[in-house]
Chain A
Amino acid sequence: MIDLTLAIAKEIETRFPKGVAPDERSGYEGYLVEAGKLVEFATALRDELGYDFLSSVTGVDYMPEEKMEVVYHVYRSTGGGALVFKVQVPRQNPVLPSLVEVFPGADFQEREAWDLLGIRFEGHPNHKRILMWEGFEGHPLRKDWEEAYFEEESKPFDARWPGGDVYRAEDENPFTKNVVYPQDFNPETWIPDGDKALYAGMKEIETDESLETEQIVVNLGPQHPSTHGVFRMVATLAGETVVKLEPVMGYLHRNHEKIGERNTYLMNIPFTDRLDYLASMSNNFGYVLAVEKLLGKKAVVPERAEYIRVIMAEFTRIANHVFAIGTLLNDMGAYFTPMLYALQERELILDIFEAAAGSRMMCNYYRFGGLARDLPPGVEGKMRDLAFERLPRKIDELDRYLTENEVLRARCEGVGVLTPEEAIAYSAVGPVLRASGVPYDVRRADPYSIYDRFDFDVAVAYHGDVYDRYLVRMEEIRQSIRILQQALDDLPEGEIMTGKPRYSIRVPAGEAYGRVEGPKGELGFYVVSDGSANPWRYHVRAPSFINLTALSKMCEGDKVADAIVILGSIDIVLGETDR
């Protein structure tokens, strides 16, 4: 492994003697690339060195140094660790070339960096805001941006104690303090420019169909039961066929990352629960892994805690996948019978979470260096009952119930096809990637925690359609049960936390990227610490968000009713998409 990275380092050094230098700040890794060399460097990484999978693109605002930094994490789709490279641009005029041509998966992520940090990507084909609305003033993740009801730069706020004079934020009139509108702006008469531009881009797309049809632009959503939340798809239809589709999101945006930068490290754990609220244990897992990387030896996780972490994460995966299958069937019109059968199993899993963590969905169970508390008496028995008896039986039943159903197959087979090359290029992750024939699972490709000890197969299917995504999810449930059975059998006794639990931790300065295979795919947390009590930068690489990059590709050419099914097969949760 070390030889390999050394070889790559050498290769990069000889190939790029100028313009690319190792990042030598303490606690940082990877390469600093000059903006002018970026496209060439990325192309070389993809084509010559095999780093073909772009995982994460994000910006960091280093305000004291008057710099903006864009951080890229690339991986090999055959497995292995990350290669990190960064581009530094001046804070006053942050412009750098877009990588969409090289990695189409950078599309939404670059738009997000523009939206939240104001970094411009030259050559981006659709350079618009993505989470905030067009016409929004400022870039909210910049360090000098203050939101409405802004109180203080970081928590804990001084007003809480010992003074204790606090008022409700909503008692304040939102139109007076802290809100800056552009001059001559009247919110009453305002019509969003973004929508005009959006519709203009959707009209009259040339098709080679012999039958002349009128093209219409249709809004699917934002409030529609089949969109899994407030999510909107603007589709241009020729007859019933989708010729172009653009997802519009951000209705649930709350600037999770800014909140995270105000919080202390510990406070962020319950906030991560609210990202993908169907899989809060996995979110905890990813975040604590990232921070534990920074903490190093200060946060060694005891054996028992590692096992319980894995058990909880796998139960989460099962709960999420049965739910995903249930909602997929809902989207297809099998209204609520399969959903309720799926919910019943999820219910029993949530009972376990409630007994162990205290809450069904907002678990807040993982801590740096361990877990919040040990399993209460009786919970292990319940887990065993589920993993050894009930779930295997019930998954077989779900299989009998759905898999061979002709209606389901007719609706799913050959719909929303994504080829393996496209899936990698669009940075698709999780079941979407694996259904396209790429056996990439972070648990195997870049093992974290104790996943290297378990015997399981990476579920993979080769057609890349909706039906295969369903099959991959079914298979993943079975593999999760296998992991659960092994983990429960080996579960050791012992501590669940090294040392005393502490509420204020000092995290050494540096950067870390922790990623886990969440139920929706690769969930990454990029954390930059400056040594203080609050993270300097806290970024979530949200699988639901980035998987949507491929949505329009999958939908083009299919019928409008299929677009709903395709969306269902990606399995998004808007809490995570919009953050």
Chain B
Amino acid sequence: MKYLLLLTFIFSSALAAPSQKSKTELESELVDFNKIKDVIKSDGLEDVARKKSLQALASKKKRLEKNISRYNFPTEEDFWPFVSELWLVKNASILKWDMKKPDYGLNKSFEYYLKSVGVYEVKFKILLVDSPNITHFSLPFKKNEFLFLISVPFIRTMDLTKLEISTLLFENYIRSKKGFFKQMALGKDVSKILGTNFHGKKQKSLIVEKTLKKYDEIILGKGFNFQQQFKVTKDMERVLKNNMKLWNSYFSLLKKIDNLVKSNSLYETYTKIYPSPELQLNWLKPN
């Protein structure tokens, strides 16, 4: 019995011994990063970690920039077509462009006219309006695309031919190229704002409202001045003198308009917008 007890004790003590680790064993189990720093460096893990954090920073910066860019004001190039169309939409009831329009074949005739005066690769949009409130106009649009308005009652009253309508549109093209409308419609405060950013600024910008008011003033009120008209007429003369048919058409058109504004009270305000057909005729006459 004694032997049995002794044997059990020896076995149990032998089994218990491996669970108690020695000090040296424990030390070897703990990872000392200082010791393996060189190994990590040689593996390039530090570079990978740095790259990843830089990437995360860059994407965060990009996301922030994108969010800020959502608060951009349109640039001048984007602003003009938008505000011109907005003016047309807001004044649909005054201009009455929402009508079943007659097919004058203006796209073909004006395209032919432009080509005959050597103007190529120019896009245009023509909007026919059923109102005498406006006779003919060119609104600021894209860099190489032009937006023209022309009144159907004006065409009918004057009994204009396709050539005469195209001549009127071309005069508006010249006026638009000179940028008179843009100069008058673009306020200093508006031009400062265009293309900037309003992130973090709480006030609502009134650039559209201000510009629409300017449009009203120019188109329905004060129009262009004598100096601007003189420049346009002289430019027309310079271009059309090479083609006598077109020059004669321009001259006879101005005569027609002059007669109309003198005889028809509905178009008395025409001279306020485009001063004046009589003077234009004088400027065209050779001295």
Are A and B part of the same complex?
no
Write the residues of chain A forming the contact surface with B, with a CB cutoff of 8 angstroms.
Answer: none
